[in-house]
Amino acid sequence: MRILLPALLLLATPVAARPWAAAPGDFENAVAQVKRLDAELLSRDSATATLQLWCDSHGSGGSARIVARRPAVDPKPAGEAERRDLGVGPDEPVAYRRVDLACGDKVLSRADNWYLPGRLTPEMNTMLNTTQTPFGVVVRPLGFRRRTLSSALLIQSNPASGAKPAIPPEVLQHRAVLSTPDGAPFSLVVETYSDQVLVARP
């Protein structure tokens, strides 16, 4: 299997076995793809926009849209670290939304999102609670800015000596704060990108 990186568009078709076993050259290309995705995410204020670029080119008939599927999970209350990143005290209401961002049947990333409903419009809060619209699309009218707090490659570029390189199910994780143009934070998101961000060619 050869792994190909098209310009600016990364993301992927699934294969049968996960984690993938890969020849050394394929594995190095996979690492390069993840690094390119990392750079693309860092260059934009909206992660959804980056994923939608791939969906526009590789989705069914070119018309698929990124949707935010909401799995049945227990809420994660905002802890001290989340409130610190959002710049709020213990009494400020913080909502939680967990979604799987998908293009068709491909789940490209998982997003854990703590946000301040009091800094959004009532219409935005209703959409977040009742639809599969991605957060970045809902809050686009705010003209938000994204500040990445951390970026971690979860794929090991140097596997242990003698070990066959394998591509893990999760390859990249970002932690970022979204703020209004005047600098007021309203969302903390932790995005974990799956191995389906890799483009494979037989």
Tens digit of pLDDT for each residue in 51-87? 988 778 766 656 788 999 999 889 899 999 999 999 9
pTM (2 decimals)?
0.84
* pLDDT score recorded for residue 10: 42
Structure-token pair, residue 93? 């209401």
Residues 75/69, Cβ–Cβ less than 8 Å = no
DSSP per residue, 124-169: HHHHHHH----HHHHTGGG--EEEEEEEEE-S-SSPPTTPPPEE-S
- Token readout for 179 is 């703020």
Cβ burial of 63 (10 Å; 0-12, 13-18, 19+) is: exposed
Residues of the chain with pLDDT under 50: 1-20, 201-202
Strand partners, 190: 112, 175
Cα-based distances in Å from 98 to 50, 104, 129? 19, 18, 11
User: Which of 197, 76, 187 shows the shortest CA–CA distance to 140?
Assistant: 187
Say if CB 25 and CB 65 are below 8 A apart: no
The pLDDT score that the predictor gives to residue 60 is 64
